[in-house]
């Protein structure tokens, strides 16, 4: 019977190494898991040196502190591939080697090569991912750690992939829905600015030279046009300066809280922002609890995906109350930031013991509602923009034609 050298770590996070006899590498890994050891490398005796050489053809050049190398869609894809390779029975180091080989970007190759070498050195996967915090979020690390502790890392990775793909799909839907209206608005604004600043003044100069009384639409248009023509540089400077100042204020904690509170109070936009944040919280919390992460740790990590300081503070307050023995629903309800539907479903989940399922339903309900509202809002916004541009163009045309008609009557 073949003998295998193995490296890995125990459920308590300690490194493990030794030899084991088994019919093949897959059986050896199963035996090790039963013994409480999660193997990262299983190599048949006599092939150790060859396997070591196999992993040296990619030189890791990843340097901690650099910007993130993985985009969201790439991370979801590679997580699914990694989980598939583990289910197929490949040792973790070999599975990471496959990811290195099939990566097209040099930075991604270097990242996974660095992860592979650190695991080969005896570190746990979660500890290695935690050191690459710009590429792997706390949610990702906590779920991997839960998978390591439960011995079901491959299944946790599949669950994590579904979560990442769901978050990415929601983000893409919002961006796609808003892209066309924003594009139309920007183009229309630029065209209008060009007309009022450079075209209209040349036309109205003819009317000024005639020294005749002009109708009020023409006078109003000439005043607006003159203002933009004379001060467009200052207007542009104010807009850019205001944007930079606003960005700097938002980067402070007080400024961010004030901005997030204002967003939640805006009509329609506030409702959508609240629903998106709650959907992220519920979906993330459901996934983490299902994966075996402790409730307090899951809440601490899940609140960070809400991207709203006001709601994050409400969740943190609930977390502190839970630590003191309260339920989840009651402190969330007292905060006044969560709709009755959310707190009611969470309370039902607590009583029935199906918290994960209730949170998943909350996420699904709000995802569907956000998609419905955004679809209707963008359709309405397109109509409003078309109607608004029609009124502006009509006003400009009338302001230009009225003096021409009056000049024609005077000549007649």
CB-based contacts of 373: which residues, under 8 Å, 6+ apart?
268, 271, 272, 275
pLDDT at 411 over 60: no
- 304 secondary structure, DSSP code: G
**To the nearest whole number, what is the mean pLDDT of the chain?**
81
**What would the DSSP string read from start to end of 146-186?**
HHHHHT-HHHHHHHHHHHHHHHHHHHHHHHHHHHHHHHHHH
Q: Which of 166-188 are b and which e, b meaning 16 or more Cβ less than 10 Å from the residue's Cβ?
A: bbeebeeeeeebeeebeeeeeeb
**Position 9 confidence tier, pLDDT thresholds 50, 70, 90:** low
pLDDT at 341 over 60: yes
pLDDT at 46 over 60: no
**Position 229 confidence tier, pLDDT thresholds 50, 70, 90:** confident
The pLDDT assigned to 52 comes to: 42
pLDDT at 87 over 60: yes
Contacts of residues 264-271 at CB distance under 8 Å and 24 or more positions apart, as own/partner, are 264/308, 264/310, 264/311, 264/337, 268/373, 268/377, 271/373
**φ, ψ (nearest 5 deg) of residue 5:** -85, 140
Report the percentage of the chain scoring pLDDT > 70: 89
The pLDDT assigned to 14 comes to: 59
**Position 310 confidence tier, pLDDT thresholds 50, 70, 90:** very high
**Position 278 confidence tier, pLDDT thresholds 50, 70, 90:** very high
| Cβ contact 196:224 at 8 Å | yes
The pLDDT assigned to 374 comes to: 84
pLDDT: which is higher, 239 or 4:
239
Low-confidence winner among 121-125, 248-252, 256-260, 310-314 (lowest mean pLDDT)? 121-125
pLDDT at 117 over 90: no
Average pLDDT score over residue span 356-377: 88
CB atoms within 10 A of CB 319: 19
pLDDT at 58 over 90: no
Q: How many Å apart are CA 184 and CA 384, to the nearest integer? A: 12
The pLDDT assigned to 242 comes to: 93
Average pLDDT score over residue span 322-348: 88
The pLDDT assigned to 323 comes to: 85
**Position 11 confidence tier, pLDDT thresholds 50, 70, 90:** low
């Amino acid at each position: 019977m073949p003998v295998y050298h193995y490296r890995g770590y125990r459920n308590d996070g300690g490194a493990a190494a030794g030899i084991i006899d088994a019919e093949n590498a897959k059986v050896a890994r199963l035996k090790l898991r039963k013994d409480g050891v999660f193997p990262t490398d299983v190599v048949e005796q006599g092939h150790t040196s060859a396997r070591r050489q196999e992993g040296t053809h990619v030189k890791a050049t990843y340097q901690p502190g650099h910007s993130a190398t993985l985009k969201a869609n790439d991370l979801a894809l590679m997580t699914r591939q990694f989980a598939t390779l583990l289910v197929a029975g490949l040792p973790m180091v070999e599975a990471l080697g496959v990811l290195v080989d099939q990566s097209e970007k040099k930075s991604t190759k270097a990242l996974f090569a660095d992860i592979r070498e650190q695991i080969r050195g005896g570190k746990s996967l979660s500890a290695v991912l935690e050191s690459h915090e710009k590429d792997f979020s706390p949610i990702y690390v906590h779920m991997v750690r839960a998978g390591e502790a439960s011995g079901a890392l491959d299944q946790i990775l599949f669950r994590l992939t579904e979560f990442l793909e769901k978050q990415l799909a929601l983000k893409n839907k919002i961006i796609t829905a808003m892209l066309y209206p924003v594009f139309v608005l920007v183009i229309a604004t630029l065209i209008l600015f060009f007309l009022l600043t450079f075209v209209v003044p040349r036309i109205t100069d003819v009317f000024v030279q005639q020294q005749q009384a002009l109708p009020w639409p023409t006078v109003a248009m000439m005043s607006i046009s003159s203002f933009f023509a004379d001060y467009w540089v200052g207007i542009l400077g104010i807009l850019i300066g205001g944007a930079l100042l606003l960005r700097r204020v938002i980067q402070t904690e007080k400024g961010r809280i004030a901005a997030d509170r204002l967003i939640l109070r805006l009509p329609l936009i506030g409702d959508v922002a609240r629903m998106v944040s709650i959907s992220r919280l519920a979906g993330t919390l459901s996934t983490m609890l299902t994966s075996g992460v402790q409730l307090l740790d899951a809440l601490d990590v899940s609140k960070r995906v809400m991207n709203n300081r006001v709601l994050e503070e409400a969740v943190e307050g609930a977390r502190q109350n839970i630590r003191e023995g309260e339920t989840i629903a009651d402190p969330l309800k007292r905060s006044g930031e969560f709709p009755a539907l959310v707190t009611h479903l969470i309370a039902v989940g607590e009583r029935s013991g199906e918290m994960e399922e209730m949170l998943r339903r909350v996420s699904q309900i709000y995802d569907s509602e956000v998609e419905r509202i955004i679809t209707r809002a963008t359709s309405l916004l397109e109509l409003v923009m078309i109607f608004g541009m029609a009124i502006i163009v009509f006003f400009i045309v009338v302001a230009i034609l009225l003096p021409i008609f009056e000049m024609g009557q005077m000549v007649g």
